[in-house]
A and B are shown apart, each in its own frame.
Chain A
Amino acid sequence: MGISSIFDIASSGIAAQRLAIEVAGENIANINTPGYSRQQVVMENRPISTANGFALGTGVQISAVRRSYDGMLQQQIVDGNSTYQQNLTRQQALEQIQPSFNEVASDGLGKAVENFFSSWQDLSTNPSGSAERAALLSRSQILVDTFHQMNTSLNTVAKTADNNLVGITAEVTDNARNLALVNTQILATHAVGGNSNELLDQRDLLLQKLSDKVGITTTLASDGTASVTLAGGEDLVQGTSYATLYTSASAAVPPVNEIRLSGLGNPPPVNNKVSDANISATVGGTGNSLGQLGGTLQVRDTMVPAYLAKLDEMASSIVSAVNTVHSAGYGVDGPPATTGNNFFAAAGTTSKSITLDGGLTAAKIAAGFATASDPAPTSSGNNVNALKLAAIQHNSFSFSTGSATLSDFYGSVVGGVGIDTQGAQNVTAQGASFLKQLNALRSSNSGVSLDEELTNLTQYQRAFQGSAKVINVATEMLDTVMGLVR
């Protein structure tokens, strides 16, 4: 062995340090790239030669560019994201619903019901008064309007959720397509034995984005590709092929969005509403507990209908109780005064359909009731029925949550909305702090530290200079040897 082996050693050093500086440069460049994992060069000495009579290495080589990555952590982040996004979606919907029920800050349905019965009290003190009758009519109309308005605002929340499904499924499909593409690239890189660190980062980021939208189960193959199944076990991404997740209108009136999944392929087969599976029931996970999609479905299918059902219960109780008493009474539209008139339209027993009876006029309001001395009330001063109607306010009704007066029941609905909203806010806040913790751990492991890279940079630069110096020395040595010959 001669001087030329010094050149070999030095040039291996120069090449290795240059590559290390490249990696440090890559790290610094990607310091703010989401999902990027810090890379480290692993240097090792080259095979030992005994040409000198004793074992000495033949320079340095880069054995690997390793990515700092914790698969377990990645999985936890994916799971945490799904739950967090579901809670966040619910919280946002509840925060839209809550103002309608915010009886603490402003007058709502509770006050409207109270005012309705107060008007009957007022009428009972002056049953023939036309002012009292007009006030009762307008307050009843306000009660009906408040029911309608709450029904509308709840339905708007459900409608918005339904519309959001279109965008969410489109994003899922988009991410699935990208994941299939990344899988293809990983395979290609793998085939030529290349380094696919950045592709793996992209793969993980796409999985994370998918988990935001929908609950997924991921399987990582040994070649680095990822396959994804949805909560119901359907394949979304399988190697290099993917499926389309899309919405189609149901047959219901008015139609709602159903979630369907096409077959696998690259590109996948054209959407076919008839043959593609309807996975609305399973895609959100158990109880629609996963991802934005799960949260949105829960808002549309569970939360809003539950609140609407409570409002409907109230509307139906008011309508039937008031009508029963009202139709037994007599108006002042005589002679002869009419009886048997409904106050609310009998058919309207939901918060959407409740209306005042079409034939109701101020004079037909039945404040009077047959008494011993006024058997078929001809007297406009008869207030017996008005008192009976006013007393309905304190009647207990049998509601789905137990027996309660109207205002107690409504109070419990408002409290329920408060508890639901507070609960959603709490779990969302917990989820956010849990994710922050996980991301901090990920960042601690995989994040780029500028200080560290700068230190490395200096280190590698000096080593590079050292190797260059060695070449310099070897050149001089060669010159010296050449001088001997001359």
Chain B
Amino acid sequence: MRITAGMTADNAIYNLQQGRAAMETLQEQISSGSMVNRPSDDPLTTRQLLDLQNQISTGEQYSSNITKGELLLNVTNTALTSMSAMMQQVKKIAGDMASGTVDASTKAGALSNLTQLKNQLIDLGNTQIGSQYIFGGFAEGQPFDAAGAFTGTDDALEVEIAQGSRVATNISGGSLLRGGTPPATVGAGATAGSSPTDVIGGIDALIAAITADDKTGISDGIKNMKAAADQITMSQTDVAGRLIRLDNMKSMLANNQNTLKSIYGDLQNVDYARAGVELSQQTTAFTAALSTTAKLTQLSLLDYMK
């Protein structure tokens, strides 16, 4: 094949261009730290990366949902613990009154104590985080009025903690303190101590019974209060169970996120050692190409003719 100077020049330009392009790609990878800088770099990996990004950000959203759910449930739990402690006192006072033969001042003390405890239960029923009443269901205002009537709703306020998996972050104040909406009938005689129990109504009935020295009423009240305490304890168990579920889901999500991020990193992060070695190979080749080009294009018969 006949070789002309023009061919040598064209070849040199083409090959130097190729060398520059290869170095440019490596330089971009090293400076951005990413293997895939645009979809055309590797369309299939791009697809995977987008999928992973998507899963990671969905996971982050679920984590954030869980954190909010935990906050609500923890506050609920605290309120329930206080309610539980109060019920112990109510039970004790009711037990003390069981004999029916107490002096007037003890009776008055017990009655005022019970009224106070009832009011505190109602106050706890109106516990709020920010503007949200945790026992009010969907309702915005205070779920319990001063007399203990429930004006909230019994709906479960759910959050999504995984695709298609929801956890209620509240328990209904109506079911908790009134045994349902409308309130359950206060048990008497054979039905005393039955479940669900109207806690507030039960305390009211107990106060009435103590005031009237009604021994049967007091003994019904004791049974009712025991059922009421159980009802609150059960709600506590329920909340604790949900908290454990959230906690499990949270650590599962964290594990998942770690795995996803490490896969993402494997696909997207530049292996600097490899890139460095390749860059130095390319540079060597390019330097060699430059030097030979410079030498070859200088050669001409003209230099040797007089």
Contacts and interface: CB of A to CB of B under 8 A. Distances in A.
Interface centre among B44, B138, B160 (most CB of A within 10 A): B138
Interface string B1-38: 11111110011001000000000000000001010111
B163 A394 contact: yes
A454 B302 CA distance: 7
A160 B258 CA distance: 45
Interface stretch (B61-69, B91-99, B204-212, B278-286): B61-69
A381 B138 contact: yes
B300 A379 contact: no
B39 A448 contact: no
B57 A418 contact: no
B266 interface: no
Interface residues on A, range: 35 or more
Contacts of B157: 381, 383
Nearest to A113: B54
A126 interface: yes
A382 B155 contact: yes
B39 A421 contact: yes
Interface in A192-219: none
Interface in A367-384: 368, 371, 373-374, 377, 379-384
Nearest to A368: B138
Contacts of B181: 373
B43 interface: yes
Interface string B54-94: 10011001001100110000000000000000000000000
Contacts of A102: 38-39
Given A104-B49, A374-B153, A443-B10, A415 B43 contact: yes
B291 interface: no
A373 B39 contact: no
Nearest to B169: A125
A424 B68 CA distance: 49
Contacts of A391: 160, 164
Nearest to B140: A380
B42 to A, nearest CB: 7
A380 B153 CA distance: 11
Interface in A234-278: none
A379 B137 contact: yes
A356 interface: no
B40 interface: yes
B138 A451 contact: no
Contacts of A368: 138
Contacts of A451: 5, 300-301
Contact of B42 (A99, A418, A425): A418
Given A374-B155, A443-B7, A98 B50 contact: no
B158 A383 contact: yes
B132 to A, nearest CB: 7
B6 A126 contact: no
B245 interface: no
A98 B47 contact: no
Interface stretch (A48-56, A58-66, A174-182, A406-414): A406-414
B151 to A, nearest CB: 10
A114 interface: yes
A371 B10 CA distance: 77
Interface in B136-165: 136-140, 153-155, 157-160, 163-164
Contacts of B57: 111, 114, 118
Contacts of B302: 450, 454
A125 B68 contact: yes
Contact of B10 (A31, A94, A440): A440
Contacts of A150: none
Given A121-B65, A382-B155, A383-B157, A104 B39 contact: yes
A448 B140 contact: no
B131 interface: yes
B132 A448 contact: no
Contacts of B10: 436, 439-440, 443
Contacts of A448: 4, 6
B51 A458 contact: no
B284 to A, nearest CB: 23
Given A128-B132, A418-B40, A421-B39, A449 B34 contact: no
A110 B6 contact: no
Contacts of A99: 38
B143 to A, nearest CB: 10
Interface centre among B53, B54, B181 (most CB of A within 10 A): B54
Interface string B150-186: 0001110111100110100100000000000100000
Contacts of A419: 40, 43
A418 B39 contact: yes
A10 interface: no
B115 interface: no
A101 interface: yes
Given A379-B140, A444-B2, A444-B3, A422 B49 contact: no
Given A105-B34, A381-B139, A387-B158, A449 B54 contact: no
Nearest to A36: B6
B46 A440 contact: no
B305 interface: yes
Interface string A109-151: 0110010001001101111110000000000000000000000
A37 to B, nearest CB: 12
A381 B65 contact: no
Contact of B7 (A414, A440, A455): A440
A417 interface: yes
Contacts of A290: none
Q: State the 3 A-B residue pairs at the shortest beta-carbon distance, nearest first.
A: A418-B39, A418-B43, A379-B138
Given A373-B153, A380-B138, A382-B138, 16 more contacts: A104-B38, A125-B65, A125-B69, A373-B154, A374-B138, A374-B155, A379-B139, A391-B160, A394-B163, A419-B40, A420-B40, A425-B40, A449-B5, A451-B300, A451-B301, A454-B301
